[in-house]
Amino acid sequence: MDFELECVSATGDRFAKLAGRHADEFALSPGQQDWDGVFPAENWVRMRRSGLLGACVPEDLGGLGVTSIHDLVVAMTRLGRGDGSTAIGVAMHTTALWYFARLRRGAPGTIDAGLTRGLELFLRACARGRVVACVAISERGTSLGRPRTTATTAPDGYRLDGRKSFCTNSPAATVFLTSVRMPGADGPDQLGFALVPRESPGLRVLQNWDAMGMRGSGSGDVVFEDCAVRAPFIIAGGPVGQLSAAVFSLTLVGALALAGVFLGMAEQAQATVVDQVTRAARAGEAAIQAQVAENEIDLACGRALMQRAAWLLERRLDTGAPDLERAEFNGLMREVQCAATATKRAAIAVVDRALTISGGGGYLNAHALSRHYRDVRAGPFMQPFSALEVGEYIGRVRLGLAPRSDDPGQGN
């Protein structure tokens, strides 16, 4: 694919090539599977075996050792060309691992030896394909910073109660990263994060995902009912209502990795119709050339935005310097949100034009484009920040005002 994004590290390159091979396999799955809404568990079995799921685990712990944010994003574009549902799941899982690996290689002394040991055990398990992580933070009717799921103190740690939705990847997950409202030491409620193994009593994965697209993403609900979590697996991350500093880097990289998946879908859609048009000997039609050109322009935007945003993040996050202040985070996040928003919009536009170019054919379920069309529309719903929120966030930060996500004082 001409002028596709290219990795800058050898480890990244291996990751991207592996992702590309998986994409080819996953794309072979019959279109019908998507329509039936069956979770493609076999995709996950394959990725556990191939080592893809351990891409960001350090080499000394058995992984591929990818640290480059840029290359992580590139790999996501490759994977996104196959099956978008699987790819967004991998993006979330991989970002989590990238985050844990970064924690582990943090400045000595920033985390204690016990936590380091725990992280290493966890990352080794990831490298062996024993771990599939699910990010379970959305809840209906509330914003990200204000979960209604509670963690109440119990003799051996905490008890969780609540219901999470849009838990991509939950059918395959072995561990859930979830957000809770937990009692503060002696102040207001805290926004906490917990790591809950699948086998925990009181945790239930509902296989209730039924959406118009991303049908194989298994993004159903996860219910916690008096679910025990031991103390080391839950941490407080600041006051409820405020985006937590502890996960700044995770949030930045996660938003970019997801956008990469949508760019990959768009690249695939364009490749598909260019191929179709060429085989049908219609490449000479002016109306088709015009649409193909607009798609190239949008793809060029998406690629450039991903490359530059990743470069901006790496410049700051890979320095070993102390972690981000809130203001610096908001600056970087603004750029990441600009890049992700524009890329996701571009991806939607590209797939839409591809449908136009395809003639009525792309509207049929037998055509891969009909799946892309439904899948790619999921992008702007993803948080932070969804399409309804992102304009205010970017606008306020640019105008020097505190964004709503900084404000623990607001209602709800």
Give the nearer residue to a second copy in terms of CB position, either 14 or 367.
367
Nearer to a second copy, 90 or 277 (CB): 277
What's the closest the beta carbon of residue 126 comes to a second copy, in angstroms? 29
* Local structure of 243: helix, strand or coil: coil
Taking the complex as a whole, the smallest distance from the CB of residue 143 to a second copy amounts, in Å, to 11
- Quote the CA–CA distance of 233 and 171 in Å, as a whole number: 21
Q: Nearest Cα to 346, choosing from 305, 289, 398?
A: 305
Smallest gap, in angstroms, from Cβ of residue 194 to a second copy? Answer: 23
Task: Classify 26 in phi/psi space as left (phi over 0), alpha (psi -120 to 50) or beta.
Answer: alpha
Q: How far is the CB of 352 from a second copy (least distance, A)?
A: 8
Contacts of 367 (CB under 8 A, 6+ apart): 31, 358, 361
Closer by beta carbon to a second copy, 147 or else 213: 213
Q: Are 86 and 216 in contact (CB under 8 A)?
A: yes
Angstrom distance (rounded) from CA 213 to CA 219: 11
**Residue 75 DSSP SS3:** helix
Amino acid making up residue 25 = E
> What gap in Å lies between CA 123 and CA 55, rounded to an integer?
10
DSSP state of 151: E
72 or 351: CB nearest a second copy: 351
Closer to a second copy by Cβ: residue 232 or 395: 395
Output the smallest distance, CB 236 to a second copy, in A.
27
Using alpha carbons, select from 385, 377, 388 the residue that is nearest to residue 144: 385
Specify which residues 136 forms β-bridges with: 178
Nearer to a second copy, 63 or 213 (CB): 213
Cβ at position 338, least distance to a second copy in Å: 4
Per-residue buried b or exposed e for 102-134, using 16+ beta carbons within 10 Å of the residue's own CB = bbbeeeeeeeeeeebebbbebbbbbbbbebbbb
Q: Using the minimum distance from each CB to a second copy, give the nearer residue, 185 or 399.
A: 399
Structure tokens at 334: 């603004």
Which is closer to a second copy, CB of 35 or CB of 110?
Answer: 35
How far apart CA 336 and CA 210 sit, in angstroms, is 30
Phi-psi region of 65 (alpha: psi -120 to 50; beta: other; left: phi over 0): left
Angle at CA 154, nearest 5°, toward 140 and 150?
Answer: 10
3-class SS of residue 175: strand
Least distance in angstroms from the C-beta of 64 to a second copy: 25
Q: How far is the CB of 387 from a second copy (least distance, A)?
A: 5
Q: Compute the least distance from the CB of residue 410 to a second copy, in Å.
A: 13
Least separation in angstroms between residue 183's CB and a second copy is: 29
Three-state DSSP class for 118?
A: helix
Nearer to a second copy, 155 or 360 (CB): 360
Cβ-based nearer residue to a second copy, 45 or 327: 327
Task: Please state, in angstroms and rounded to a whole number, the distance separating the CA atoms of residues 123 and 61.
Answer: 7
